[in-house]
Amino acid sequence: MPRLVPVEIGEATHLNAIIEGKRAPARPRLRVLKPALETRYIEYAGTTTAFHSLAASTLVGTDAEYCVGCYNLDRPTVAALKRAVLDARPPNRNYLCQWCLIEPWGEMDHYVPKESFPEFAVMARNLAPCCSKCNKAKGDYWPPVGVVPEVLNLYYSSLLDRDHLSAAVTHAPGGASAIQFAIRRDVGLTPAEIATLEVHYARLRLMPRLQDAGISALSRFRHSLRAHGVTRANAVQYLVDEAVGLATAFGANHYEALTATALAAAPAALDDYLA
């Protein structure tokens, strides 16, 4: 799952439009708070590879409520912000949750939760489209200052760009197939990077979901091998070509690409599928 491209421009413009779209008493108070909010935006932009150093919010009471209240998707100014975030995504992956690449996106996650950091409630680069399962698994989790967040950032984590996931198919002749996904240990990731990825996958509960999706993908490949008249002799090449196409479209860590590669390396499964 390669990184998304953040909306790098127009943060202050969106914030201003959203504030001016509010009514009293929120609007005059938010106008007063705006310079402080913009300062926090700059702090956020400076800590994008070190979120553990982001200072805790000092907003409390009605100030915090007014800031959180800015995130109201019924407002045209907030809808415009959401559209800008959505439009910044790569078009070939724009229907998918970018964390799992399994489900269609349907919700916006505040990477730094708005409950703990009201000042980032309507900051474009703090918003990432994701599916309800990933959003629910992440929840309002945020660590204390100084502790590295367990969930990787969709815009700024370079680990998401690395080929870091593998899959292996096991097959009982005449029986069912199983598939297991794991963080790769053969691609030069440091032990710390491997640990970071494992924590991320565990926090979002991705491995069981990948395994379910992988089983479904195996069924689809089993069907398409037969539907395309693929023989046992050319099955491996067919699956390798499928994997290349899927990885080009969705990234090397996409579960279907990995499933095709794993099935190509599982002769017992292919023998059964094409018997």
Task: List the one residue out of 70, 77, 85, 69 whose CA is nearest residue 9.
Answer: 85
Helix (H, G, I), strand (E, B) or coil at 130: strand
User: What is the C-alpha to C-alpha distance for residues 127 and 183, in angstroms, rounded to an integer?
Assistant: 26
Contact (Cβ atoms closer than 8 angstroms) between residue 263 and residue 167: no
Minimum CB–partner distance for residue 106 and Zn ion (Å): 9
List binders of Zn ion among 111-140 (CB under 5 A): 131, 134
* 121 neighbors 91 (Cβ within 8 angstroms): no
Write down the least CB distance from residue 211 to Zn ion, Å: 15
Q: How many positions of this chain bind Zn ion (CB under 5 A)?
A: 6
Q: How many residues does the chain have?
A: 275
Nearer to Zn ion, 66 or 99 (CB): 99
Cβ proximity of 214 and 224 under 8 Å: no
Q: Which stretch in 12-20, 24-32, 90-98, 143-151 sits in contact with Zn ion by CB under 5 A?
A: 90-98
- Compare residues 97 and 152 and give the one whose CB is closer to Zn ion: 97
**Residue located via tokens 């559209």:** 83
- The alpha-carbon radius of gyration of the chain (Å, integer) is 22
Query: Side chain identity at 266, as an amino acid letter?
Result: A
Tell me if 100 contacts Zn ion by CB under 5 A: yes
Interface with Zn ion, residue 97, by CB under 5 A:
yes
CB under 5 A: which stretch of 70-78, 99-107, 138-146, 217-225 binds Zn ion?
99-107
The only residue of 66, 99, 142, 201 in contact with Zn ion, by rule CB under 5 A: 99
* Minimum distance from residue 227 beta carbon to Zn ion (Å): 29
* Span interacting with Zn ion, options 4-12, 92-100, 147-155, 233-241, rule CB under 5 A: 92-100
d(CA 203, CA 151): 7
| Closer to Zn ion by Cβ: residue 54 or 97 | 97
Give the interface with Zn ion as residue ranges (CB under 5 A). 97, 99-100, 103, 131, 134
